[in-house]
Structure 1
Amino acid sequence: MRPSGRKFDQLREVSIETGFSHHAEGSALIRMGRTEVLCTASVEGKVPGFMRGQGEGWVTAEYGMLPRATHTRGDREAARGKQSGRTQEIQRLIGRSLRAVVDRKLMGEITITLDCDVLNADGGTRCASITGAYVALCLAVKKLREKNVLKVNPVIGQVAAVSCGIYQGVPVLDLDYVEDSAADADANFILTGAGGIIEIQATAEKATFDDAAFAALLALARSGTAQLFAAQSAALQG
């Protein structure tokens, strides 16, 4: 039995609220169980220096956690004067994941920055960030098209992410903090709506796992992301 009482293949309750931020071109507050992440998309009419003159756009991301998003207070990284290695790794992952479903040649020289701020953390914050950031990105692109800044939709696919792991010897979907901290192995799957794999991060924490276990985790991830794709589509249509 999982600590939450969920079945092995059951997601936490998921909701995506759009338009949460009044000023951003696109925003989504995603809740996956007790994990809550505010994702905002901001548009700038320029690109980084290394991309100027190429006629392509840029999609990037920043990630952060509020001091009391976790059980004990964490220092603000701005107060420390530098980001942790974990923060840098996660925001690069979010950026890569969103760029994988965007044709940047259709953007022109604009930048869309996805800010993912964790309000409450109970496991799976990077996966929730990617899933929510996709919705914020689509909303920003919609606004740009309404203003005739973009002639064609540069978003060419759908992306969502979910964690899976081996808990007490059983492959399970969508780890919360209690499971994640005690898992034999855990993994993050970033998948596209067309069935493509963008990235898989899989680690043996307490015990190694074999091909059959990995196949079981991937099957769970595909089932979970299918539900997340449906939640994203519903939020964008609402």
Structure 2
Amino acid sequence: MERKDGRKNDQLRKYKINRHFQIHPAGSVLIEMGNTKVICAATIEDRVPSFLKGTGEGWLTAEYSLLPSATNTRTSREAARGKQTGRTQEIQRLIGRSLRSVMDLKALGERTVTVDCDVIQADGGTRTASITGAFIAVVEACATVYDGTKPFPVKDFLSAISVGISASGEPILDLNYEEDSSCIVDMNVVRTGMGQFVEVQGTGEGRPFSREEMDNLLALAEKGTDELISYEKDILGNDLVWKVGRE
């Protein structure tokens, strides 16, 4: 099957990560996955939530937002409505959980890393792009407080991708909005550099799916996340790659 954008079933969209996208955060990137574009920024503060005070451990939290002009039809600002949608809360919790899975919060010390993921253009896969981009921003941010006396606060690499079963019944990698809105099965997968799964969120949108179909989707996700992690290492370069997982 050849998709409308010319990709093969197992092919990622064109992707690009621009580091140091903003001058103020400790770490920031613009990640592009096809037409999806997300600004990911990481800020570090010398404070922790009250439940962590005196423990010597740090914390990481994430916030996610979709700019009104990011979608084909304008989306009202959540601040104007006075509350976040359930979708926003779900996504930012996913981003936070995923990033914390590769963090050594003891090594971070009593600091809080706040990750902001702002979608400036949406064409499917905004949550997975946010996780991949935020990982780079967090590594950059942690490098600014790393003095070599403790392990580096980031233990492993991390990336995320969407997979699904198309309307024609074929497993495909990295769904754009058109594919996502018509797919039979939709799945988001988060994996570490060691090949371990952090999150597998799969839903039969049009019908239930079989174990064989799930295995095919996970195989596609492994291929996509491995490719993205390889790219992350290229983007971080020798000055930062060696720090990840350093004890």
What TM bracket, shorter-length normalisation? over 0.9
Tell me the alpha carbon deviations over residues 84-105 of structure 1, each in whole angstroms, 9 at most, x when there is no partner. 0000000000000000001111
Instruction: Report the TM-score when normalising by structure 2.
Output: 0.93
Misfit runs of 4+, over 4 Å: none
Gaps of 5+ in 2: 239-247
3-state DSSP of counterpart to 1:144? coil
Distance across 1 between alignment mates of 2:201 and 2:74 = 27
For 1:128, the aligned partner's letter is A
The answer to whether structure 1 residue 173 and structure 2 residue 173 are counterparts is: yes
Q: How big is the shift at 1:2?
A: 1.5
Q: How big is the shift at 1:143?
A: 1.4
Count of residues paired in the alignment = 236
Match of 2:245 in 1: none
Q: RMSD between aligned alpha carbons?
A: 1.2
Distance across 2 between alignment mates of 1:198 and 1:151 = 25
Instruction: Report the TM-score when normalising by structure 1.
Output: 0.97
The answer to whether structure 1 residue 193 and structure 2 residue 193 are counterparts is: yes
Q: How big is the shift at 1:151?
A: 3.9
Cα 1:25–1:149 shift into 2, 3 Å? farther
Match of 1:110 in 2: 111
Distance across 2 between alignment mates of 1:150 and 1:188 = 37
Q: How big is the shift at 1:150?
A: 7.0
Distance across 1 between alignment mates of 2:60 and 2:102 = 10
3-state DSSP of counterpart to 2:120? strand
Distance across 1 between alignment mates of 2:232 and 2:83 = 33
Match of 1:67 in 2: 68
The answer to whether structure 1 residue 153 and structure 2 residue 152 are counterparts is: yes
Tell me the alpha carbon deviations over residues 58-89 of structure 1, each in whole angstroms, 9 at most, x when there is no partner. 01100001001000101111111110000000
3-state DSSP of counterpart to 1:95? helix
The answer to whether structure 1 residue 227 and structure 2 residue 237 are counterparts is: no
Q: How big is the shift at 1:203?
A: 0.3
For 1:4, the aligned partner's letter is D
3-state DSSP of counterpart to 1:68? helix
3-state DSSP of counterpart to 1:212? helix
Q: How big is the shift at 1:54?
A: 1.0
Match of 2:183 in 1: 183
CA contact (8 A) 1:3 1:178 kept: no
Gaps of 5+ in 1: none
Match of 1:97 in 2: 98
The answer to whether structure 1 residue 213 and structure 2 residue 213 are counterparts is: yes
CA contact (8 A) 1:3 1:179 kept: no
Match of 2:35 in 1: 34
The answer to whether structure 1 residue 120 and structure 2 residue 121 are counterparts is: yes
For 1:205, the aligned partner's letter is E
CA contact (8 A) 1:107 1:150 kept: no
Distance across 1 between alignment mates of 2:149 and 2:46 = 12
For 1:134, the aligned partner's letter is F
Match of 1:79 in 2: 80
Tell me the alpha carbon deviations over residues 132-167 of structure 1, each in whole angstroms, 9 at most, x when there is no partner. 00000000011112xx39743111011100000000
